Amino acid sequence: MVNQTKSRIIEKNRLTKLLDKIARGYHLIAPVRDNNVSFRRVESGTEVTLDYINTVLSPKNAFFPQTETLFRFSRDDNREFGIEPGAETDREQVIFGIRACDARSLRLMDMVFDGQYKDHYYLNRREKTTLIGLACFDYAETCFCPTFGIDPASGDDVDILFSDIGECYLVEAYTEKGAALLDRFAEFFTELRGDEEQLREARKAGLAGMKKLDINAIADKMAPLYEGDYWDSIGIKCLGCGICTYLCPTCHCFDIADISLDEGGERFRCWDSCMFPEFTLMASGENPRPDRKARVQQRFFHKLKYFPDRNGEVACVGCGRCVRYCPVNIDITRIIEDVTTGKAKNE
C-alpha cells in the first residue's frame, strides 16, 4: 500500500541533483565506495553509491561517533579554568540510503540513550537528523532481519522511504519531518502515475527466501545456558577483536578519557568493546570475565537475554555484519538456532 500521506516519484536521473541540493543545506551522510562501502559525509551527489546491499560500518557513527569530544578545558594566563562544549552539533543532518535493519537499530539505541538517563549528545543528533531509507529488494546471504519483525521494503523506522521501482524511485514520507523535507525539495519530485504499488510488489519477489529465525522466548531459553560449556566451543574460536561490536548497529559500549596538555585539553568518549581484555577489568587487577569465553558468553547474553529482559526487544536487527566480517566465522544465527531448538543445552 503506497503511503498516502505524502508520496511522490523522482526520476533516477534527478537523484544526483537532489542530493547535491540537500548537501548544500544539511550535513548529508550517504554510502560512499572507497575501500568498501561505508556511510560518510558527502558534499555532492556524485560521491554517493547505491550499488550495495549494506555498508560495512553502520550509520550509528552519525549519532554515536566513534570519537566524540564532550568538552574542552583550558587554563588562561591567570590560571583560570574555562570549559567549552565539544563538537558542534547544531547542523541538521540527512542520512540517505539507510536500510530497514539499521533504521530499526536506532529505535533500540533510543532505549539506551533516551531511557532513564538522557544522553544529550546522542539525542541532539537524533533530533536534528532526517532519515531517508532505501528499500531492499535483494539480500545478502548473511541477512536475517525478518527474524525481528523488520520488513526490508518498508519505511517504518525512517522519515522518507525511497524504493527503486525500475525507471524511477517511489518516494514516501512516513513522518511529518519527512513530509517537510519533501516539500522543501518539491521541485525534484513528480506526481504518482498509479502503477507504483504494482511495480513495488513485483520487486519484492527478490526478497523471497530471506532467513527468518525463531526467537520465540529466546530470553528464557538462554537462562539455563548460563552454566555449562556451550560457550566454550564459541569462545575458544573468538579472537577477542572488536569487529562484531564495532560493526554492530546496536552495540553501544563506550569509554571516556581525557587528553591534557599544559594549556588545556579535552574530554572525549570513544567506542569500546566487551570483547577487549579491559572490559570489566578492575583497578585491583581482578576481572570477573578474564577470558574470551566469558566475554563471548556475556555478549550473547546481553543481546539475547539481558537487553530483552530490560527493554522488551532482542538487541539485534539481523543486519548480518557480524556474521559476514567475523574472521573466524562465529555466527549469531547458528547460536540463535542452537538456543531455540534446545541443541545448545545438549552439547
Partner 1 sequence: MKVSSEEVQTRVKKLFEDGNIAHFIGYETGSDSLRVTPSFLKSGKAASRLVWNPLCANNLSKYLLDFKNVEGRVGIIVKGCDSRSVVELLKENQINRDKVFIVGIPCSGIVDREKLLEVLGVSPGDVVAVEDDGDAFLVTLKGGNQRVEKEKVLRGECLVCKYPTPVVYDVLLGEAVSSLPWVGDDYSLIKEQEALSSEEKALYWNREFSQCIRCYACRNICPVCTCPECIFDKKAPRWLNKANDVSENLFYHLVRAFHVAGKCVDCGECERACPMNIPLRSLNKKVEKDLLELFDYTAGIDVEQQPPLTTYQLGDLDEFL
Q: Which of 206, 240, 264, 265 binds partner 1 (CB under 8 A)?
A: 240
Segment 134 to 153, residues that bind partner 1, using CB under 8 A? 140-142
**Closest distance to partner 1 from the beta carbon of 235 (Å):** 10
**Whole-angstrom distance between the N-terminal and C-terminal Cα of the chain?**
47
Q: Is 268 in the site for partner 1 (CB under 8 A)?
A: yes
Q: Which of 43, 255, 263, 309 binds partner 1 (CB under 8 A)?
A: 255
**Closest distance to partner 1 from the beta carbon of 325 (Å):** 5
Q: Is 241 in the site for partner 1 (CB under 8 A)?
A: yes
Q: Which stretch binds partner 1 (CB under 8 A): 84-92, 121-129, 165-173, 264-272?
A: 264-272
Q: Is 290 in the site for partner 1 (CB under 8 A)?
A: no
DSSP secondary structure, 255-288, as one string: EEEEEEETTEEEEEEEE--TTSTTTT--TTS--S
Q: Is 277 in the site for partner 1 (CB under 8 A)?
A: yes
Task: Choose between 92 and 232: whose C-beta lies nearer to partner 1.
Answer: 232
Task: Choose between 15 and 251: whose C-beta lies nearer to partner 1.
Answer: 251
φ and ψ of 130, to 5 deg: -105, 130
Q: What 3-state DSSP class applies to 162?
A: strand
| CA distance to 42, 161, 171, per residue, from 46 (Å) | 9, 20, 20
Q: Which of 20, 41, 57, 289 binds partner 1 (CB under 8 A)?
A: 57
Q: Which of 205, 208, 257, 261 binds partner 1 (CB under 8 A)?
A: 257
Q: Is 330 in the site for partner 1 (CB under 8 A)?
A: yes
Q: Is 278 in the site for partner 1 (CB under 8 A)?
A: yes
Q: Is 205 in the site for partner 1 (CB under 8 A)?
A: no
**Closest distance to partner 1 from the beta carbon of 69 (Å):** 9
> Using only C-alpha atoms, what is the Rg of the chain?
22
Residue type, 298: Q
Task: Choose between 36 and 46: whose C-beta lies nearer to partner 1.
Answer: 36
How many chain residues bind partner 1 (CB under 8 A)? 41
Alpha carbon distance 168, 190 (integer Å): 10
Place of cell 577489568: 281
Alpha carbon distance 317, 338 (integer Å): 18
Place of cell 575501500: 35
**C-beta separation of 250 from 105 below 8 A:** yes
**Closest distance to partner 1 from the beta carbon of 154 (Å):** 23
Alpha carbon distance 91, 100 (integer Å): 24
Q: Which of 10, 143, 150, 243 binds partner 1 (CB under 8 A)?
A: 243
Q: Is 270 in the site for partner 1 (CB under 8 A)?
A: yes
Angle at 258 between CA 257 and CA 261, to 5 degrees: 155
**Closest distance to partner 1 from the beta carbon of 256 (Å):** 9
Q: Is 237 in the site for partner 1 (CB under 8 A)?
A: yes
| Closest listed residue to residue 238, CA positions, set 281, 287, 269, 279 | 279
| CA distance to 279, 303, 338, 340, per residue, from 334 (Å) | 25, 14, 6, 10
Q: Is 229 in the site for partner 1 (CB under 8 A)?
A: no
Q: Is 291 exposed, middle or buried (0-12, 13-18, 19+ CB in 10 A)?
A: middle
Q: Which stretch binds partner 1 (CB under 8 A): 4-12, 149-157, 271-279, 300-308?
A: 271-279
| Site for partner 1, rule CB under 8 A | 34-36, 38, 56-57, 66-67, 140-142, 233, 236-237, 239-243, 246-247, 255, 257, 259, 268, 270-273, 276-278, 323, 325, 327-331, 333-334
